[in-house]
Amino acid sequence: MENHNINLTLNIWRQENPSTEGRFEEFKVSTSPDASILEMLDELNNTLEAKGERPIAFESDCREGICGTCGVVVNGHPHGPLPKTATCQLHMRTFKDGENLYIEPFRAKAYNIIKDLIVDRSPLDKIIQSGGFISVNTGSAPDANIHPISKETATIAIEAAECIGCGACVAACKNASAMLFVGAKVSQFAVLPQGQPERYDRVQAMVNTMDEMGFGSCTNTYACEAECPKGVSVTNIARMNRDFLKAKITSHALHF
């Protein structure tokens, strides 16, 4: 039977733990064009384990582009070169036969490399824990329906809520800013009636935690929007900035 596999040279970041130095290690693979990049790494790991070598550490969960666990940088792009595609949905047919791929972890001051391609993205969780929720009682489902929400508003909230929290925006940004992530997580509630009681507490708490975690500032390069696997818009950053300023100008006391 004819072999339609594609042959690639992989340069993969290997690092034993957060305190050791990392380096690229080269592997030659022949893989199906229909394999995802994670399936290709699974195959490579099977080969490494069969030889008694240490497999490559990487993260994944849903493999459907919805959980945000799987991000790596491929040839300089967080989640690889295809727009609006998470690493788990990036297929090898994207690449040419004989191509060199450089696969490395998301890099940012706020992310520690745990092992190989796995980084500690818990600083994003800490931002959510500081205010990315609604704790007021919104009543049962029928009660919630007494607040009519326009299609336009619902669309803004749902598009912001598409953020899967993968942290690619941070890896894409030259300042390692998390403002697209935080902007989306603020906006998904800020435009809805249920989000109003805690609106200004929320934005202040989340922005303060973002700063404490060591994320950088936004200088409007839009690299985050370009690399976001869900195409989350930078308009969410503008909305977050407006709410943050309003909270400061009106001396809104932080209650969280």
Residue ranges in contact with ligand FES by CB under 6 A: 60-63, 65-70, 86-88, 164
The least CB distance from residue 165 to ligand FES, in Å, is: 10
CA dist., res. 80 & res. 227, Å (int): 9
Q: What is the CA radius of gyration of the chain?
A: 21
Q: Which residue, 86 or 180, is less far from ligand FES as judged by CB? A: 86
Q: Between 16 and 34, whose beta carbon lies closer to ligand FES?
A: 34
Q: Which amino acid is present at 93? A: R
Give, in degrees to the nearest 5, the angle at Cα 78 between 98 and 219: 135
**Closest approach of Cβ 96 to ligand FES, in Å?**
24
Distance CA 41, CA 62 (A): 16
Closest distance between ligand FES and the C-beta of residue 111, in Å?
Answer: 17
Q: In this complex, which beta carbon is closest to ligand FES, that of residue 199 or of residue 230?
A: 230
Q: What are phi and psi of 36, to 5 degrees?
A: -75, 165
CB of 163 to ligand FES, least distance (A): 12
**Is 71 or 183 the residue whose CB approaches ligand FES more closely?**
71
Contacts by 137-145, CB closer than 8 A, 24 or more apart: 138/194, 144/194
Identify the H or E element spanning 1: none
Report the 10 Å Cβ neighbour count for 140.
8
Q: Which is nearer to ligand FES, 66 or 157 (CB)?
A: 66
For the chain, what is the largest distance between any 2 Cα atoms, rounded to a whole number of angstroms?
72
Is the Cβ–Cβ distance between 12 and 24 less than 8 Å? Answer: yes
- Closer residue to ligand FES in complex, CB, 66/114: 66
CB of 134 to ligand FES, least distance (A): 24
The distance of closest approach from Cβ of residue 41 to ligand FES in the complex, given in angstroms and rounded to an integer, is 12
Q: How far apart are CA 95 and CA 139, in angstroms?
A: 51
